[in-house]
A and B are shown apart, each in its own frame.
Chain A
Amino acid sequence: MTKSTRTPTGTVDGGPRRARLRGGTRTVPVPLLLPALVGLAFLLLPLIALLVRAPWRDLPEQLTSAEVWQALRLSLVCATSATLLSLLVGVPLAWLLARTEFPGRGLVRALVTLPLVLPPVVGGVALLLAFGRNGVVGQWLDSWFGITLPFTTTGVVLAETFVAMPFLVISVEGTLRAADPRYEEAATTLGASRFTAFRRVTLPLIAPGIAAGAVLAWARALGEFGATITFAGNFPGRTQTMPLAVYLALQNDPAAAIALSLVLLAVSIAVLAGLRDRWMTAS
């Protein structure tokens, strides 16, 4: 290539062509650039507005109020519990979907992902019908064990799990499918049962995928609103998580709502920073 550009004809032909090529990769067509900038602005403006209108002077006072800490603590505890619960049953579920064949697997997979697209409020109603005091399962829980789930902190965890677990399952299943199943075979030939192979070989291999799925599920659980307020209600200290507190505060005390929102924004940014390597550079 370099040799040909040195010849007189090569320089004449090659020079402008290369310049045009380089220009071509630089110029972004206006019909693409304009909507892209509008989209970007639309995503960023609300966040900027949040920062601009934040009651910075009163912020320390707002954030040190007992209600805020109560809501934040409850949010963190519930989101973490929901994530652990999702891990406990979601990882085996992902394994089942990725590594076994059974009739109706496609349907099961679709049903697992349904909460992803289901309006959370509908999820909350469905949870009430299942685990409510008169629910399909709930009535037995109540009469046999005296367990009541709706409008309790456990109810918050269940609502969040319902909405967040599909994120974990989808993420882990994808990682499992990408992982070489022959490692499990190798473990089997060494005398490992299928469960031992899973525990000692597969699990460590897919750990990054599980971690990413868990963070995603945790973030989703933290922001959960619809299913939570429907199934667990809005009782400060018991079921009032941060998003619920923000919504309530907005009606009485907008400054407090902004302060609470800032806290959630900070948590979200922290999560995003944690996932930086996995999700932002993956594309």
Chain B
Amino acid sequence: MTDLDDTAPGRTAPETRDEGLDARLVVDRGSFRLDVALTAAPGDVVALLGPNGAGKTTALRALAGLLPLTDGRLRLDGVRLDRTPPESRPVGVVFQDYLLFPHLTALDNVAFGPRCRGVSKAEARAQAAEWLDRMGLAEHTGAKPRRLSGGQAQRVALARALATRPRLLLLDEPLAALDARTRLEVRAQLRRHLAEFEAVAVLVTHDPLDAMVLADRLVVVEHGRVVQEGGPADIARRPRTDYIAQLVGLNLYRGHADGHTVRLEAGPTIATTEELSGPVFVAFPPAAVTLFRDRPTGASARNLWRCEVAGLETHGDQIRAGLTGELPLAADLTTVAAAELDLHPGAPVWATVKATQTHAYPA
């Protein structure tokens, strides 16, 4: 099995990484099957991004050893961990709601890991104090978790996970439990701590912003499978599924390119600047769409579609119009423009997009 995996697509030669993470996680849970491959070098921060129920947390639990693998492999720094019990894995976990032990002080929470790994009580406490100091929590060492704010608790949880000096750090929705204002601040701190971390970090999130700010590489998981992988910029620019397109705020279509024209499966065509042939994706931002109530007379707009307003919602300081018709799409326009066009659900409109505003890439 493993021999076959090593020659799987994307690998040119059987390769055994001596450093970092090399995993293929297969977990069967009833009708749900998770099957994702993950590799990362020391220092990498990888984000598992996906909708709820995609299997991200299952993957994380499998990495931590809290769920057994049905199949696949798990190697960390060249050591097989598939059958290693969780307490013996060099893995640290920051849980979504932190799970700080409520009966222990922040210091003893952080000292817990070193204590379990055989460090003397005094030494473990000294190490814990150092970690908390590094997290800017020197004044809160004696506090019980319930007296810590969300952001402080998050840092204690991070310190607790790091205090065992893991070779793999796992973070489950690290910012989900925080309110919007704290989140901004904690995200920046977390980014700094992750940048300092010398081993592999894998974080799970459904928030694309968290993923893009914190991670060097995104692995998008849907229905238990990896649907796209790459750098944040690449993913944001070239989404390959509707879910990702929606996350990064792009209109996305799949079609067949012939030169500068892409014919979509549903019928309409989109003119692009890229010259391609074969199956392609075309993406453009909602802000690139211009709406008219009457058919525009200008000859320049080749991308002209007859649509109908399906819904309107405020989107920041703009109005986002959802359109159906020849080409279902989202269009952003200013409140003033929306008022002038007298947009309302059911209103017929013409939508245009300049070819230069579209982006086509092979599917």
CA distance A205 to B145 in the complex (A): 13
Residue of B nearest to A196 (CB): B116
Given A183-B99, A185-B66, the answer on whether A192 and B91 have CB atoms closer than 8 Å is no
A36 at the interface (CB under 8 A from B): no
| Complexed CA–CA distance, A185 and B99 (Å) | 9
Interface positions, chain B 64-114, Cβ under 8 Å from A, are: 64-66, 85-89, 91-93, 95, 99, 101-103, 112-113
How far apart sit A188 and B116, CA to CA, in the bound complex (Å)? Answer: 9
Give the residue of A189, A194, A204 whose beta carbon is less than 8 angstroms from that of B93. A189
Task: Give complex CA distance A191, B163 in Å.
Answer: 11
Checking B92, B101, B102, B103 against A189 with a beta-carbon cut-off of 8 angstroms, the contacting residue is B92
In the assembled complex, B160 has its CB within 8 A of some CB on chain A: yes
Tell me the smallest distance from the CB of B92 to a CB of chain A, in Å.
7
Instruction: Sort chain B's interface into a size bin.
Output: 20 to 34
Q: Is the CB of A186 within 8 A of B87?
A: no
Q: Looking at chain A, what size class is its interface with the partner chain?
A: 10 to 19
CB of B192 within 8 A of chain A?
Answer: no
> Is B116 in contact with A201, judged by CB distance below 8 angstroms?
no
Question: Chain B residues with Cβ under 8 A from A190's Cβ?
Answer: 87, 92, 112-113, 116, 160-161, 164
Residues of A contacting B93 in the complex (Cβ-Cβ under 8 angstroms): 186, 189
Is residue A255 within 8 Å, beta carbon to beta carbon, of the partner chain? no
The reply to whether the CB of B121 lies closer than 8 angstroms to some CB of chain A is no
Contact call B112/A192, Cβ cutoff below 8 A: yes
A200 contacts partner chain B, Cβ-Cβ < 8 Å? yes
- Kindly identify, within residues 173 to 215 of chain A, every residue whose CB is under 8 Å from any CB belonging to chain B: 180, 182-183, 185-194, 196, 200-201, 204-205
Q: State whether A186 touches B95 (Cβ < 8 A).
A: yes
Min CB gap B251→A, angstroms: 40
Assess the A191–B117 pair: CB atoms within 8 A.
yes
- Chain B residues in 8 Å Cβ range of A191: 87-88, 113, 116-117, 164
A204: which B residues are within 8 A, CB to CB?
101, 103
A182 to chain B, nearest CB (A): 6
Q: Is the interface of A mostly helix, strand, loop or mixed?
A: helix
Determine the chain B residues whose CB is within 8 A of the CB of A192 once the complex forms: 87, 112, 116
Taking CB atoms, residues of chain B closer than 8 Å to A193 are 87, 116
Minimum CB distance partner of A194 in chain B: B87
Complex contact B64–A189 (CB within 8 A): yes
Q: How far is the CB of A15 from chain B (nearest CB, A)?
A: 42
Q: Are B112 and A187 in contact, with the CB atoms below 8 A?
A: yes
* Contact between B87 and A200, CB atoms less than 8 A apart: no
Q: Which residues of A contact B85 (CB under 8 A)?
A: 188
Complex CA–CA separation, A194 to B88 (angstroms): 12
Chain B neighbourhood of A183, CB < 8 A: 99, 101
Chain B min CB distance to A96 (Å): 19
Most buried by A among B66, B87, B91, B160: B87
Write the chain A residue with the least CB distance to B93.
A189
Closest to A190 in B: B113
Question: With A and B bound together, what is the CA distance between A191 and B64 in angstroms?
Answer: 11
Complex contacts, B102 vs chain A, CB 8 Å: 205
Residues of A within 8 A of B66 (CB): 185, 188-189
A188–B86 CB distance below 8 A: yes
Taken together as a complex, chains A and B put the C-alpha atoms of A187 and B117 apart, in Å, by 12
Chain B residue numbers with a CB within 8 Å of A196 are 116
CA distance A187 to B88 in the complex (A): 12
A116 → B minimal CB distance (Å):
30
- B92 contact set on A, CB distance < 8 A: 189-190
Specify the chain A residue showing the minimal Cβ separation from B101: A201
Complex Cα–Cα for A175 and B112 (A): 24
Which residues of chain A come closer than 8 Å to B117, judged between CB atoms? 191
Distance of A186 Cα from B161 Cα, bound (Å):
9
- For residue B100, give the distance in angstroms from its CB to the closest CB of chain A: 8
B117: nearest chain-A partner, CB-CB: A191
Residues of A within 8 A of B64 (CB): 189
Q: A182-B99, A201-B101, A205-B103 are in contact. Are A189 and B86 (CB under 8 A)?
A: yes
Chain B residue with minimal CB distance to A180?
Answer: B99
Given A182-B95, A188-B66, A191-B116: 15 more A-B contacts, CB < 8 Å: A182-B99, A185-B66, A186-B93, A188-B87, A189-B86, A189-B92, A189-B93, A190-B113, A191-B113, A191-B117, A192-B112, A193-B87, A196-B116, A205-B101, A205-B102
15 residue pairs bridging A and B, Cβ less than 8 Å apart: A183-B99, A185-B99, A186-B93, A186-B95, A187-B101, A189-B87, A189-B93, A190-B87, A190-B92, A190-B116, A190-B161, A192-B116, A194-B87, A201-B101, A204-B101
- B residues sitting closer than 8 Å to A (CB atoms) are 64-66, 85-89, 91-93, 95, 99, 101-103, 112-113, 116-117, 160-161, 164
Q: Which 4 A-B pairs have the closest CB atoms?
A: A191-B116, A190-B113, A186-B99, A204-B103
